[in-house]
Amino acid sequence: MKEFWRDNARFADLFNAALFQGKNIIRPEELEESDTDISSILKLGSHMETVQKILDVIKKSSNGVEFVILGLENQQHVHFGMPLRLMVGDAFGYLKEYQEVAKRNKEEGHWDGSEEFLSGFRREDRLHPMVTLCVYYGEREWDGPFSLMDMLKIPEELKPVVNDYKMNLIQVRDSEQLQFHNTDVQTVFEICRNIYKKNYEEIANVYQSKEIDSELGLVIGAITDSPKLVDQALERKGGRMNMCRALEELEKEGIKKGIKEGIKEGIKEGIVNGKILARYEDGMTPEEIAGKMGLSVKQVEKILEENNVLEMVQH
């Protein structure tokens, strides 16, 4: 995914769709690759410590003589500490630039008073804004925190005085509202979204007579965890591929996956049922079983009734 987003046109379109309702605010021609290592040196008491933080892709967007630093974080799974992780990344980005400015000022030695000298920062110095976007590729809905406040156990009266950090997050599975203009980005998001929803007919209607670049097939296969699609893309590496054959394989994979998940759920359900029956036979009441297993009394009674145990005892 890092390589896919290194392309300036795709990168700009992603940020414009996610943050600016599709308006052409970030321009591909104004982007340049930047160092993804935003690690910083922190002074802790009497010693210094390097704290490492590396983003997946970072680009600088020039706007006249100034610029904005844009960071991209790719995420395949829900991360329950993501707002904090991104906040730390942004803070390190600012700290890194602050340290660079302080170093340059020290070398030049032009200070307007002791306050500037002690802070290493001149009155007119300014840092450049850092904007980080997290792209979540997972099939299940993001049920993690969206902001730092979501991670805090905090009394209501303290909320107004505690600084929050809201992360910029987009989910591939729920991206219909995003206005993309880059064909590659639109294709990847659209096909992945429909694969997750198992809308194979929808994909066939749009892409049946269309070939897509094998690079896009590889990206789609990696995002949706479709080995057959990855294999087909690798076979056509550097060329183009038709989605018809790929769709047949995807549908088969979806059915197999569904069967496996069904078997797994069946086994899990069987184990739970077995535990309930065993405890009931040992003399525990439905209320006691429910409390022990973290279930509702109705759930326990339903399972006992389905196995004709509760009915037998009651009669």
In tens, the pLDDT along 208-253 reads 777 888 899 899 989 988 888 888 888 888 788 877 666 666 666 6
Same domain, 24 and 137: yes
The pLDDT of residue 40 is above 60? no
Same domain, 91 and 217: no
Note whether residue 297 is domain-resident.
no
Cα–Cα distance list, 232 to 33, 76, 209 (Å): 31, 22, 17
CA atoms within 13 A on the CB side of 203: 26
Q: Say which residues have a Cβ less than 8 Å from residue 293's Cβ, sequence separation at least 6.
A: 272, 275, 276, 300
What is the maximum span of the chain, computed from C-alpha positions, in angstroms? 94
Q: Give the integer Cα–Cα distance in Å for 86 and 147.
A: 10
- 28 or 59: which leads in pLDDT: 28
Q: Of 179, 207, 230, at which residue does a domain stop?
A: 179
- 156 or 69: which leads in pLDDT: 156
Q: Give the integer Cα–Cα distance in Å for 134 and 84.
A: 12
Q: How confident is the model at residue 136 (pLDDT cuts 50, 70, 90)?
A: very high
Radius of gyration of the chain (CA): 27
Structural domain of 67: 2-179
Among candidates 171, 172, 201, which has minimal Cα distance to 189? Answer: 172
Among candidates 136, 134, 104, 135, which has minimal Cα distance to 122? Answer: 104
Q: Which residue has the tokens 């990168």?
A: 11
Q: Of 179, 212, 230, at which residue does a domain stop?
A: 179
Same domain, 31 and 134: yes
216, 222, 228, 234: CA torsion to nearest 10: 50
Q: What pLDDT was estimated at residue 311?
A: 53
* DSSP of 50-84: EE--B-SEEEEEEETTEEEEEEEEEESS--TTHHH
Q: What pLDDT was estimated at residue 3?
A: 85
The pLDDT of residue 91 is above 60? yes
Same domain, 147 and 14: yes
Note whether residue 242 is domain-resident.
yes
Q: What pLDDT was estimated at residue 277?
A: 83
Mean pLDDT, the chain, rounded, equals: 82
Q: What pLDDT was estimated at residue 263?
A: 46
Q: What pLDDT was estimated at residue 268?
A: 59
CA-based torsion, 201, 203, 204, 206: positive or negative: positive
Same domain, 94 and 26: yes
For the chain, list the strands marked E by DSSP.
31-33, 40-44, 47-51, 57-63, 66-75, 130-136, 168-171, 211-213, 240-242
In tens, the pLDDT along 156-212 reads 999 999 999 999 999 999 999 999 999 999 999 999 998 888 887 888 788 777 788
The pLDDT of residue 23 is above 90? yes
| Average pLDDT value for residue range 24-29 | 90
Q: Give the integer Cα–Cα distance in Å for 38 and 74.
A: 16
- 93 or 259: which leads in pLDDT: 93
CA atoms within 13 A on the CB side of 8: 13
Same domain, 110 and 188: no
Which region holds residue 204: left if phi is over 0, alpha if psi is between -120 and 50, else beta?
alpha
Burial of 269 (0-12, 13-18, 19+ CB in 10 A): exposed
Q: Give the integer Cα–Cα distance in Å for 87 and 91.
A: 6
| Average pLDDT value for residue range 55-64 | 72
Same domain, 96 and 124: yes
Same domain, 36 and 133: yes
In tens, the pLDDT along 270-297 reads 677 778 888 888 888 888 888 888 888 8
Listed range (20-34, 46-60, 94-108, 174-188) with the worst mean pLDDT: 46-60
Same domain, 242 and 220: yes
Query: How many domains does one find in the chain?
Result: 2
Which region holds residue 212: left if phi is over 0, alpha if psi is between -120 and 50, else beta?
beta
Q: What pLDDT was estimated at residue 315?
A: 44
Same domain, 172 and 187: no
- In degrees rounded to 5, what are phi and psi of residue 37? -85, 110
Same domain, 197 and 254: yes
Indicate the pTM of the whole model.
0.72
For the chain, what percent of residues have pLDDT higher than 90? 38
Same domain, 93 and 199: no
> At 307, which helix (H) or strand (E)?
none
The pLDDT of residue 4 is above 80? yes
